[in-house]
Amino acid sequence: MSIEFAWNTQKNKMSDIKGKEREQEREGQIKNNMIDLDRTHLNYDLVQSELNLYQRAKERVDQLKSEKKRVQKNSVITYSNIITIPESAAKEMSNDQMHDYFKTCHDYFVDRFGKENVLSSKIHLDESTPHMHCHFLPIDKNTGRLQARTTMNKAALNQIHDEIPERLREKGFDVVRGSGEKTKQKLDIHEYKAKLDLEKEKAELEKQTSKLSQQLKELEEEHTILHREVYYRRTEKSIKLQQIEKGFEEKVEAAKTEANQKISMIQEEVTKFEYDMSQNQERLIMDTQDMNGLLDATKKDLEEHQKQLNERIDSLKELDLDESVNLDLKPNLLNKVSMSNDTFLELKKRAEVAERMQRALRISEQRVQTLEKDNRKKDSQLSEMFTLQMENGSLKRQVEFFKQVVAKVREVLIAQLDDEGKPIYKPNFIHQAIGFAKHYVGHTLKMNKEAAPENKREAQGRDFAIKLLADERKEKGYGSEMER
Protein backbone atom coordinates (compact mmCIF):
# COMPACT_ATOMS: atom_id res chain seq x y z
CA MET A 1 0.00 0.00 0.00
CA SER A 2 1.37 3.45 -0.98
CA ILE A 3 2.42 5.98 1.63
CA GLU A 4 1.29 9.57 1.24
CA PHE A 5 4.18 11.98 1.69
CA ALA A 6 3.33 14.03 4.81
CA TRP A 7 5.30 17.29 5.02
CA ASN A 8 4.50 20.56 6.78
CA THR A 9 6.66 23.65 6.96
CA GLN A 10 6.58 26.84 9.07
CA LYS A 11 8.65 30.00 8.82
CA ASN A 12 10.41 31.36 11.92
CA LYS A 13 12.08 34.54 13.01
CA MET A 14 15.09 34.55 15.33
CA SER A 15 12.84 35.01 18.37
CA ASP A 16 10.90 31.80 17.51
CA ILE A 17 13.85 29.44 17.36
CA LYS A 18 14.29 28.90 21.11
CA GLY A 19 10.69 27.76 21.43
CA LYS A 20 11.17 25.26 18.58
CA GLU A 21 14.33 24.03 20.26
CA ARG A 22 12.62 23.41 23.63
CA GLU A 23 9.90 21.39 21.89
CA GLN A 24 12.37 19.45 19.81
CA GLU A 25 14.67 18.67 22.75
CA ARG A 26 11.83 17.79 25.15
CA GLU A 27 12.74 20.64 27.50
CA GLY A 28 10.42 22.16 30.09
CA GLN A 29 6.99 20.79 30.99
CA ILE A 30 5.79 17.99 28.68
CA LYS A 31 2.07 18.43 27.99
CA ASN A 32 1.76 15.97 25.07
CA ASN A 33 0.57 12.66 26.55
CA MET A 34 1.50 10.90 23.29
CA ILE A 35 5.19 11.22 24.16
CA ASP A 36 6.76 8.20 25.81
CA LEU A 37 9.65 9.62 27.85
CA ASP A 38 11.06 6.12 28.30
CA ARG A 39 11.78 6.10 24.54
CA THR A 40 13.13 9.67 24.28
CA HIS A 41 16.70 8.37 24.39
CA LEU A 42 16.06 6.80 20.95
CA ASN A 43 15.74 10.26 19.35
CA TYR A 44 18.79 11.44 17.35
CA ASP A 45 19.95 14.27 15.08
CA LEU A 46 21.33 13.73 11.56
CA VAL A 47 23.35 16.97 11.95
CA GLN A 48 26.16 16.50 14.43
CA SER A 49 27.16 19.62 16.39
CA GLU A 50 28.09 20.59 19.95
CA LEU A 51 25.92 23.72 19.63
CA ASN A 52 22.20 23.85 20.27
CA LEU A 53 19.73 24.92 17.58
CA TYR A 54 19.65 28.60 18.56
CA GLN A 55 23.45 28.79 18.68
CA ARG A 56 23.72 27.13 15.25
CA ALA A 57 21.27 29.63 13.76
CA LYS A 58 23.01 32.62 15.34
CA GLU A 59 26.42 31.43 14.20
CA ARG A 60 25.18 31.09 10.61
CA VAL A 61 23.46 34.52 10.70
CA ASP A 62 26.64 36.14 12.04
CA GLN A 63 28.58 34.53 9.22
CA LEU A 64 26.15 35.95 6.64
CA LYS A 65 26.50 39.39 8.18
CA SER A 66 30.29 39.11 8.06
CA GLU A 67 29.92 38.38 4.34
CA LYS A 68 27.92 41.62 3.98
CA LYS A 69 24.72 39.68 3.37
CA ARG A 70 21.64 41.59 4.52
CA VAL A 71 19.79 40.16 7.56
CA GLN A 72 17.07 42.28 9.12
CA LYS A 73 15.56 41.97 12.59
CA ASN A 74 12.22 40.83 11.19
CA SER A 75 13.72 38.53 8.57
CA VAL A 76 12.59 34.91 8.25
CA ILE A 77 15.67 33.07 9.53
CA THR A 78 14.62 29.43 9.34
CA TYR A 79 11.88 27.10 8.17
CA SER A 80 10.92 24.35 10.61
CA ASN A 81 9.71 21.26 8.73
CA ILE A 82 7.98 18.17 10.05
CA ILE A 83 8.09 15.04 7.90
CA THR A 84 5.89 12.23 9.24
CA ILE A 85 5.63 8.48 8.61
CA PRO A 86 2.05 7.31 9.21
CA GLU A 87 1.70 5.03 12.22
CA SER A 88 0.40 2.11 10.11
CA ALA A 89 3.38 2.36 7.73
CA ALA A 90 5.89 2.79 10.57
CA LYS A 91 4.78 -0.52 12.07
CA GLU A 92 5.82 -2.27 8.83
CA MET A 93 9.27 -0.58 8.80
CA SER A 94 12.47 -1.44 10.62
CA ASN A 95 14.53 1.22 12.40
CA ASP A 96 17.04 1.19 9.51
CA GLN A 97 14.27 1.71 6.95
CA MET A 98 12.87 4.66 8.91
CA HIS A 99 16.40 6.08 9.16
CA ASP A 100 16.85 5.79 5.36
CA TYR A 101 13.43 7.43 4.81
CA PHE A 102 14.29 10.46 6.91
CA LYS A 103 17.92 10.56 5.67
CA THR A 104 16.69 10.77 2.07
CA CYS A 105 14.49 13.77 2.97
CA HIS A 106 17.38 15.39 4.87
CA ASP A 107 19.75 14.95 1.92
CA TYR A 108 17.23 16.57 -0.41
CA PHE A 109 17.19 19.77 1.70
CA VAL A 110 21.01 19.69 1.91
CA ASP A 111 21.22 19.52 -1.90
CA ARG A 112 18.62 22.25 -2.38
CA PHE A 113 19.79 24.80 0.27
CA GLY A 114 23.37 23.74 1.09
CA LYS A 115 24.79 21.62 3.90
CA GLU A 116 25.81 24.68 5.95
CA ASN A 117 22.22 25.92 5.90
CA VAL A 118 20.56 22.72 7.19
CA LEU A 119 20.93 23.34 10.93
CA SER A 120 19.20 20.26 12.37
CA SER A 121 17.26 17.13 11.38
CA LYS A 122 16.09 15.67 14.66
CA ILE A 123 14.28 12.31 14.38
CA HIS A 124 11.71 11.55 17.09
CA LEU A 125 10.96 7.89 17.80
CA ASP A 126 9.33 8.40 21.20
CA GLU A 127 5.85 8.90 19.74
CA SER A 128 3.44 6.52 18.00
CA THR A 129 3.94 8.46 14.77
CA PRO A 130 7.67 8.75 13.93
CA HIS A 131 8.63 12.11 12.45
CA MET A 132 11.61 14.37 11.73
CA HIS A 133 12.08 18.05 12.67
CA CYS A 134 14.22 19.60 9.94
CA HIS A 135 15.41 23.23 10.26
CA PHE A 136 17.07 25.06 7.37
CA LEU A 137 17.85 28.63 6.32
CA PRO A 138 16.05 29.68 3.09
CA ILE A 139 19.27 30.61 1.25
CA ASP A 140 19.31 31.18 -2.49
CA LYS A 141 22.25 29.03 -3.67
CA ASN A 142 22.84 31.29 -6.68
CA THR A 143 23.16 34.53 -4.70
CA GLY A 144 24.04 33.16 -1.27
CA ARG A 145 21.45 35.52 0.26
CA LEU A 146 18.70 34.91 2.79
CA GLN A 147 15.60 35.12 0.56
CA ALA A 148 12.52 33.35 1.92
CA ARG A 149 10.17 34.98 -0.60
CA THR A 150 11.87 33.37 -3.59
CA THR A 151 13.26 30.15 -2.14
CA MET A 152 10.02 29.14 -0.40
CA ASN A 153 7.32 30.65 -2.58
CA LYS A 154 4.29 28.67 -3.81
CA ALA A 155 6.10 27.29 -6.83
CA ALA A 156 9.01 26.10 -4.66
CA LEU A 157 6.64 24.39 -2.22
CA ASN A 158 4.91 22.50 -5.04
CA GLN A 159 8.28 21.51 -6.44
CA ILE A 160 9.42 20.11 -3.06
CA HIS A 161 6.15 18.20 -2.78
CA ASP A 162 6.90 16.59 -6.15
CA GLU A 163 10.63 15.96 -5.88
CA ILE A 164 10.98 14.40 -2.40
CA PRO A 165 8.46 11.56 -3.08
CA GLU A 166 10.33 10.91 -6.34
CA ARG A 167 13.63 10.53 -4.47
CA LEU A 168 12.00 8.26 -1.91
CA ARG A 169 10.68 6.03 -4.68
CA GLU A 170 14.24 5.84 -6.08
CA LYS A 171 15.28 4.51 -2.64
CA GLY A 172 12.60 1.81 -2.85
CA PHE A 173 9.84 3.44 -0.80
CA ASP A 174 6.32 3.29 -2.21
CA VAL A 175 5.54 6.99 -1.68
CA VAL A 176 3.14 9.24 -3.56
CA ARG A 177 2.65 12.98 -3.43
CA GLY A 178 0.41 14.08 -0.56
CA SER A 179 -3.22 14.72 -1.52
CA GLY A 180 -3.59 17.55 0.95
CA GLU A 181 -6.39 15.82 2.88
CA LYS A 182 -5.56 15.97 6.58
CA THR A 183 -6.10 12.88 8.60
CA LYS A 184 -5.17 12.50 12.25
CA GLN A 185 -1.85 10.96 11.20
CA LYS A 186 -1.17 13.64 8.55
CA LEU A 187 -1.97 16.66 10.66
CA ASP A 188 0.83 19.11 11.25
CA ILE A 189 2.35 17.92 14.49
CA HIS A 190 2.09 21.48 15.87
CA GLU A 191 -1.57 21.75 14.93
CA TYR A 192 -2.36 18.29 16.31
CA LYS A 193 -0.62 19.01 19.61
CA ALA A 194 -2.20 22.42 19.76
CA LYS A 195 -5.62 20.90 19.13
CA LEU A 196 -5.18 18.39 21.97
CA ASP A 197 -3.85 21.07 24.29
CA LEU A 198 -6.69 23.39 23.29
CA GLU A 199 -9.33 20.78 24.07
CA LYS A 200 -7.69 20.05 27.40
CA GLU A 201 -7.34 23.73 28.24
CA LYS A 202 -10.94 24.32 27.14
CA ALA A 203 -12.21 21.70 29.57
CA GLU A 204 -9.98 23.08 32.31
CA LEU A 205 -11.12 26.64 31.55
CA GLU A 206 -14.77 25.61 31.68
CA LYS A 207 -14.12 24.03 35.05
CA GLN A 208 -12.24 27.10 36.28
CA THR A 209 -14.93 29.38 34.83
CA SER A 210 -17.60 27.58 36.80
CA LYS A 211 -15.48 27.79 39.94
CA LEU A 212 -14.67 31.45 39.33
CA SER A 213 -18.33 32.19 38.70
CA GLN A 214 -19.18 30.72 42.10
CA GLN A 215 -16.30 32.64 43.72
CA LEU A 216 -17.42 35.83 41.97
CA LYS A 217 -20.91 35.37 43.33
CA GLU A 218 -19.51 34.86 46.82
CA LEU A 219 -17.24 37.88 46.42
CA GLU A 220 -20.15 40.02 45.28
CA GLU A 221 -22.11 39.00 48.36
CA GLU A 222 -19.08 39.66 50.55
CA HIS A 223 -18.52 42.98 48.76
CA THR A 224 -22.11 44.01 49.51
CA ILE A 225 -21.65 43.13 53.18
CA LEU A 226 -18.30 44.92 53.36
CA HIS A 227 -19.68 47.96 51.54
CA ARG A 228 -22.52 48.13 54.03
CA GLU A 229 -20.13 47.73 56.97
CA VAL A 230 -17.79 50.39 55.58
CA TYR A 231 -20.74 52.76 55.19
CA TYR A 232 -21.85 52.15 58.78
CA ARG A 233 -18.30 52.56 60.12
CA ARG A 234 -17.71 55.68 58.07
CA THR A 235 -20.98 57.17 59.37
CA GLU A 236 -20.04 56.22 62.94
CA LYS A 237 -16.58 57.78 62.64
CA SER A 238 -18.05 60.92 61.08
CA ILE A 239 -20.43 61.26 64.04
CA LYS A 240 -17.58 60.72 66.51
CA LEU A 241 -15.45 63.34 64.78
CA GLN A 242 -18.33 65.80 64.87
CA GLN A 243 -18.74 65.09 68.59
CA ILE A 244 -15.03 65.68 69.14
CA GLU A 245 -15.19 68.97 67.24
CA LYS A 246 -18.28 70.02 69.18
CA GLY A 247 -16.58 69.13 72.49
CA PHE A 248 -13.53 71.18 71.54
CA GLU A 249 -15.67 74.17 70.55
CA GLU A 250 -17.67 73.99 73.80
CA LYS A 251 -14.49 73.90 75.87
CA VAL A 252 -13.08 76.85 73.99
CA GLU A 253 -16.29 78.85 74.37
CA ALA A 254 -16.40 78.09 78.10
CA ALA A 255 -12.77 79.18 78.49
CA LYS A 256 -13.48 82.39 76.53
CA THR A 257 -16.56 83.13 78.68
CA GLU A 258 -14.59 82.58 81.89
CA ALA A 259 -11.75 84.79 80.66
CA ASN A 260 -14.18 87.58 79.67
CA GLN A 261 -15.78 87.40 83.12
CA LYS A 262 -12.39 87.71 84.80
CA ILE A 263 -11.49 90.64 82.57
CA SER A 264 -14.79 92.39 83.41
CA MET A 265 -14.18 91.93 87.15
CA ILE A 266 -10.66 93.31 86.86
CA GLN A 267 -11.90 96.27 84.83
CA GLU A 268 -14.51 97.02 87.55
CA GLU A 269 -11.83 96.85 90.22
CA VAL A 270 -9.57 99.13 88.17
CA THR A 271 -12.42 101.66 87.74
CA LYS A 272 -13.14 101.58 91.49
CA PHE A 273 -9.44 101.92 92.25
CA GLU A 274 -9.14 104.92 89.94
CA TYR A 275 -12.16 106.54 91.63
CA ASP A 276 -10.69 105.92 95.10
CA MET A 277 -7.37 107.33 93.96
CA SER A 278 -9.07 110.44 92.64
CA GLN A 279 -10.98 110.98 95.93
CA ASN A 280 -7.86 110.38 98.00
CA GLN A 281 -5.88 112.81 95.89
CA GLU A 282 -8.54 115.51 96.31
CA ARG A 283 -8.65 115.03 100.09
CA LEU A 284 -4.87 115.01 100.24
CA ILE A 285 -4.72 118.26 98.27
CA MET A 286 -7.27 119.91 100.58
CA ASP A 287 -5.54 118.62 103.71
CA THR A 288 -2.20 119.76 102.35
CA GLN A 289 -3.57 123.24 101.60
CA ASP A 290 -5.07 123.47 105.10
CA MET A 291 -1.85 122.29 106.68
CA ASN A 292 0.17 124.74 104.59
CA GLY A 293 -2.12 127.59 105.83
CA LEU A 294 -1.77 126.51 109.42
CA LEU A 295 1.97 126.15 109.01
CA ASP A 296 2.25 129.62 107.52
CA ALA A 297 0.17 131.15 110.34
CA THR A 298 2.09 129.24 112.98
CA LYS A 299 5.37 130.26 111.35
CA LYS A 300 4.35 133.92 111.50
CA ASP A 301 3.29 133.62 115.15
CA LEU A 302 6.51 131.86 116.03
CA GLU A 303 8.52 134.56 114.27
CA GLU A 304 6.61 137.27 116.17
CA HIS A 305 7.09 135.53 119.50
CA GLN A 306 10.72 134.89 118.64
CA LYS A 307 11.12 138.58 117.99
CA GLN A 308 9.52 139.43 121.33
CA LEU A 309 11.69 136.86 123.11
CA ASN A 310 14.80 138.29 121.50
CA GLU A 311 13.83 141.81 122.61
CA ARG A 312 13.24 140.65 126.18
CA ILE A 313 16.50 138.68 126.18
CA ASP A 314 18.32 141.79 125.06
CA SER A 315 16.65 143.75 127.85
CA LEU A 316 17.72 141.16 130.38
CA LYS A 317 21.25 141.33 129.09
CA GLU A 318 21.22 145.07 129.52
CA LEU A 319 19.94 144.60 133.05
CA ASP A 320 22.72 142.16 134.02
CA LEU A 321 25.61 144.06 132.42
CA ASP A 322 24.88 147.57 133.61
CA GLU A 323 25.08 147.61 137.42
CA SER A 324 25.04 151.34 137.49
CA VAL A 325 21.50 151.49 136.27
CA ASN A 326 19.11 153.14 138.58
CA LEU A 327 17.21 150.67 140.61
CA ASP A 328 14.12 152.66 140.06
CA LEU A 329 14.45 151.75 136.39
CA LYS A 330 14.85 148.02 136.99
CA PRO A 331 11.16 147.39 137.45
CA ASN A 332 10.61 148.93 134.05
CA LEU A 333 13.25 146.70 132.57
CA LEU A 334 11.80 143.76 134.36
CA ASN A 335 8.46 144.73 132.99
CA LYS A 336 10.01 144.43 129.54
CA VAL A 337 10.99 140.79 130.13
CA SER A 338 7.99 139.86 132.10
CA MET A 339 5.49 137.51 130.34
CA SER A 340 1.92 137.16 131.31
CA ASN A 341 0.47 133.76 132.02
CA ASP A 342 -1.96 134.11 129.11
CA THR A 343 0.87 134.83 126.73
CA PHE A 344 2.77 131.81 127.93
CA LEU A 345 -0.28 129.60 127.58
CA GLU A 346 -0.90 130.95 124.09
CA LEU A 347 2.67 130.19 123.07
CA LYS A 348 2.44 126.76 124.57
CA LYS A 349 -0.84 126.16 122.74
CA ARG A 350 0.67 127.24 119.44
CA ALA A 351 3.70 125.04 120.02
CA GLU A 352 1.38 122.10 120.57
CA VAL A 353 -0.53 122.96 117.40
CA ALA A 354 2.73 123.06 115.47
CA GLU A 355 3.68 119.68 116.88
CA ARG A 356 0.29 118.25 115.86
CA MET A 357 0.68 119.67 112.39
CA GLN A 358 4.10 118.10 112.06
CA ARG A 359 2.61 114.80 113.20
CA ALA A 360 -0.20 115.25 110.66
CA LEU A 361 2.38 115.88 107.95
CA ARG A 362 4.15 112.67 108.87
CA ILE A 363 0.82 110.82 108.76
CA SER A 364 0.08 112.40 105.37
CA GLU A 365 3.46 111.25 104.07
CA GLN A 366 2.68 107.74 105.31
CA ARG A 367 -0.71 107.86 103.55
CA VAL A 368 1.01 108.98 100.36
CA GLN A 369 3.40 106.03 100.66
CA THR A 370 0.44 103.70 101.26
CA LEU A 371 -1.36 105.08 98.21
CA GLU A 372 1.78 104.62 96.13
CA LYS A 373 1.97 101.04 97.35
CA ASP A 374 -1.70 100.49 96.46
CA ASN A 375 -1.01 102.06 93.09
CA ARG A 376 1.82 99.58 92.46
CA LYS A 377 -0.53 96.76 93.47
CA LYS A 378 -3.13 97.99 91.02
CA ASP A 379 -0.43 98.19 88.35
CA SER A 380 0.34 94.54 89.08
CA GLN A 381 -3.35 93.71 88.69
CA LEU A 382 -3.39 95.57 85.40
CA SER A 383 -0.39 93.49 84.34
CA GLU A 384 -2.35 90.36 85.27
CA MET A 385 -5.19 91.62 83.12
CA PHE A 386 -2.81 91.95 80.18
CA THR A 387 -1.57 88.44 80.93
CA LEU A 388 -5.16 87.18 80.77
CA GLN A 389 -5.55 88.90 77.42
CA MET A 390 -2.45 87.07 76.24
CA GLU A 391 -3.91 83.83 77.57
CA ASN A 392 -7.02 84.62 75.58
CA GLY A 393 -4.83 84.82 72.48
CA SER A 394 -3.30 81.49 73.51
CA LEU A 395 -6.80 80.02 73.72
CA LYS A 396 -7.41 81.14 70.14
CA ARG A 397 -4.24 79.34 69.09
CA GLN A 398 -5.52 76.26 70.91
CA VAL A 399 -8.72 76.49 68.86
CA GLU A 400 -6.58 76.45 65.73
CA PHE A 401 -4.59 73.60 67.24
CA PHE A 402 -7.65 71.44 67.79
CA LYS A 403 -8.93 72.17 64.30
CA GLN A 404 -5.64 71.03 62.86
CA VAL A 405 -5.74 67.93 65.08
CA VAL A 406 -9.11 66.98 63.63
CA ALA A 407 -7.90 67.72 60.09
CA LYS A 408 -4.82 65.59 60.70
CA VAL A 409 -6.95 62.74 62.04
CA ARG A 410 -9.14 62.88 58.96
CA GLU A 411 -6.14 62.90 56.69
CA VAL A 412 -4.63 59.86 58.40
CA LEU A 413 -7.92 57.96 58.37
CA ILE A 414 -8.61 58.69 54.70
CA ALA A 415 -5.09 57.70 53.69
CA GLN A 416 -5.51 54.18 55.11
CA LEU A 417 -6.81 52.05 52.23
CA ASP A 418 -7.28 48.34 51.73
CA ASP A 419 -6.32 46.37 48.59
CA GLU A 420 -9.44 47.60 46.80
CA GLY A 421 -8.58 51.23 47.50
CA LYS A 422 -11.22 51.67 50.19
CA PRO A 423 -10.55 53.31 53.58
CA ILE A 424 -10.06 51.13 56.64
CA TYR A 425 -11.28 52.30 60.05
CA LYS A 426 -10.09 50.57 63.19
CA PRO A 427 -10.78 52.00 66.68
CA ASN A 428 -7.30 51.39 68.04
CA PHE A 429 -5.72 53.00 65.02
CA ILE A 430 -8.01 56.06 65.33
CA HIS A 431 -6.96 56.62 68.96
CA GLN A 432 -3.31 56.25 68.00
CA ALA A 433 -3.78 58.71 65.13
CA ILE A 434 -5.41 61.28 67.46
CA GLY A 435 -2.58 60.91 69.99
CA PHE A 436 -0.06 61.27 67.16
CA ALA A 437 -1.78 64.38 65.79
CA LYS A 438 -2.08 66.04 69.24
CA HIS A 439 1.64 65.88 69.85
CA TYR A 440 2.73 66.51 66.26
CA VAL A 441 0.51 69.57 65.74
CA GLY A 442 1.25 70.85 69.25
CA HIS A 443 4.97 70.65 68.48
CA THR A 444 4.43 72.39 65.12
CA LEU A 445 2.49 75.27 66.78
CA LYS A 446 5.13 75.47 69.57
CA MET A 447 2.54 75.20 72.33
CA ASN A 448 3.89 75.33 75.86
CA LYS A 449 1.35 72.91 77.27
CA GLU A 450 0.83 69.56 75.57
CA ALA A 451 -2.68 68.17 75.02
CA ALA A 452 -2.71 65.15 77.33
CA PRO A 453 -3.68 61.73 75.83
CA GLU A 454 -7.06 60.42 76.92
CA ASN A 455 -6.23 56.72 76.78
CA LYS A 456 -3.43 54.20 76.31
CA ARG A 457 -3.73 54.14 72.51
CA GLU A 458 -3.41 57.90 72.28
CA ALA A 459 -0.31 57.66 74.46
CA GLN A 460 1.13 55.14 71.98
CA GLY A 461 0.40 57.55 69.12
CA ARG A 462 2.08 60.37 71.06
CA ASP A 463 5.20 58.20 71.65
CA PHE A 464 5.34 57.42 67.94
CA ALA A 465 5.15 61.17 67.10
CA ILE A 466 7.97 61.89 69.58
CA LYS A 467 10.14 59.23 67.95
CA LEU A 468 9.31 60.49 64.45
CA LEU A 469 10.18 64.10 65.34
CA ALA A 470 13.42 62.94 66.95
CA ASP A 471 14.33 61.00 63.79
CA GLU A 472 13.57 64.06 61.66
CA ARG A 473 15.81 66.21 63.82
CA LYS A 474 18.53 63.59 63.59
CA GLU A 475 18.27 63.48 59.79
CA LYS A 476 18.52 67.29 59.60
CA GLY A 477 21.67 67.22 61.77
CA TYR A 478 20.14 68.73 64.93
CA GLY A 479 21.15 67.64 68.40
CA SER A 480 24.92 67.77 67.83
CA GLU A 481 27.34 68.13 70.71
CA MET A 482 27.97 71.78 69.90
CA GLU A 483 24.23 72.58 69.78
CA ARG A 484 23.69 70.87 73.14
150 and 231 share one domain? no
Any domain includes 18: yes
Last residue of a domain, one of 389, 413, 437: 413
Residue 169 shares a structural domain with residue 301 = no
Q: Say if 471 falls within a structural domain.
A: yes
Helices (H), 322-422: 330-337, 341-415
Q: Are residues 41 and 116 in the same domain?
A: yes
pLDDT per residue as tens digits for the range 113-156: 999 999 999 999 888 889 999 999 999 888 889 988 999 999 99
- Predicted confidence (pLDDT) per residue in 267-314, tens digit: 887 788 778 777 767 776 776 677 677 667 767 776 776 777 677 667
7 and 134 fall within a common domain: yes
Is the Cα dihedral 259, 265, 271, 273 positive or negative?
negative
Asked whether residue 247 carries a pLDDT value surpassing 90, the answer given is no
434 and 407 housed in the same domain: no
pLDDT confidence tier of residue 327, bands split at 50, 70 and 90: very low
Looking at residue 293, its pLDDT comes to 76
The residue-averaged pLDDT of 82-95 equals 90
- Residue 481 confidence (pLDDT): 45
| Residue 28 structural domain | 3-187
* Mean pLDDT of the 455-482 span: 80
CA atoms of 61 and 117, how far apart (whole Å): 10
Number of domains in the chain: 3
- pLDDT tens-digit readout, 206-225: 888 888 888 888 888 888 88
| Residues 94, 117 share a domain | yes
Contact 79, 11 (CB under 8 A): yes
Contact 291, 357 (CB under 8 A): yes
pLDDT at 420 over 90: no
For residue 463, the model assigns a pLDDT of 92
Looking at the fold, whether 406 and 440 belong to one and the same domain comes out as: no
Asked whether the predicted pLDDT for residue 157 surpasses 70, the reply is yes
pLDDT at residue 134, as a whole number: 95
More confident residue, 273 or 365: 365
DSSP assigned state of 417:
B
Share of the chain above pLDDT 70, in %: 82
Q: For residue 316, tell me if it sits in a domain.
A: yes
- Residue 195 belongs to some domain of the structure: no
Model pLDDT for residues 430-452, shown as the tens digit of each residue? 888 888 888 888 888 877 777 78
Instruction: Look at residue 484 and tell me if it is in a domain.
Output: no
Give the per-residue pLDDT at 329.
44
Question: pTM value?
Answer: 0.41
* 154 and 9 in a common domain: yes
Domain assignment present for 481: no
The mean per-residue pLDDT over the stretch 397-410 comes to: 75
Are residue 263 and residue 406 in the same domain, yes or no? yes
CATH number of 400's domain: 1.10.287
Neighbours of 137 (CB within 10 A): 23
Clarify whether residues 257 and 221 are in a common domain.
yes
Whether 315 has a pLDDT exceeding 80, the answer reads no
* Residue 480 in domain: no
Which of these three, 133, 155, 187, is where a domain ends? 187
Residue 94 lies in a domain: yes
Please check whether residues 363 and 431 belong to one and the same domain.
no
Calpha distance 143→200 (Å, rounded) = 47
Which CATH number fits the domain that encloses residue 62? 3.30.930.30
Average pLDDT over residues 329-334: 46
CA distances from 70 to 56, 63, 74, 421 (A): 18, 11, 12, 53
Query: Which has more confidence, 15 or 247?
Result: 15
367-377 residue pLDDT tens: 878 888 887 88
Residues 408 and 430 reside in one and the same domain: no
Question: How much is the pLDDT for 9?
Answer: 92
Is-contact 413 423, C-beta < 8 A? yes
